[in-house]
Amino acid sequence: MSKAWPLVKLGEVLHKSQNWIELDPQQEYKEVTVRLWGKGVTLRGMVTGSQIAGSRRLQVHTNQFILSLSKTNNLLESCKTVSEGTTNRVRLKERNFSR
């Protein structure tokens, strides 16, 4: 018989990443893409900072939870109830999600 895990609010175990980095036009950076339907994060390619639009980016690390990778029905339904917007522009209301 397996042990049941206690239910906790996501805001108690997940924290939004704020690890912004300033881009150096001469430095090379790895770009990643999040594949649809929980298929993982993969390397998109290597680019220099001058090839990236904007002057800063969020940096990702191993063991981070990227919300768009999740495919469990319970989590997806929870996300839908605290999101707003129309097709292709739905945004998660973080203040509601983390409570």
* Number of other residues whose CB lies within 10 A of the CB of residue 44: 11
Q: Could you tell me the pLDDT band of residue 91, with boundaries at 50, 70 and 90?
A: low
Sign (positive/negative) of CA torsion 96, 72, 60, 58? negative
Whole-number pLDDT of residue 50: 96
Q: Alpha-carbon distance 25 to 35, whole Å? A: 27
Which whole number is the average pLDDT over 14-21?
86
**Predicted model pTM:** 0.65
Q: How does DSSP classify residue 15?
A: -
Which whole number is the average pLDDT over 6-35?
88
Whole-number pLDDT of residue 84: 67
**pLDDT tens digits, one per residue of 62-87:** 888 877 677 777 777 777 776 666 65
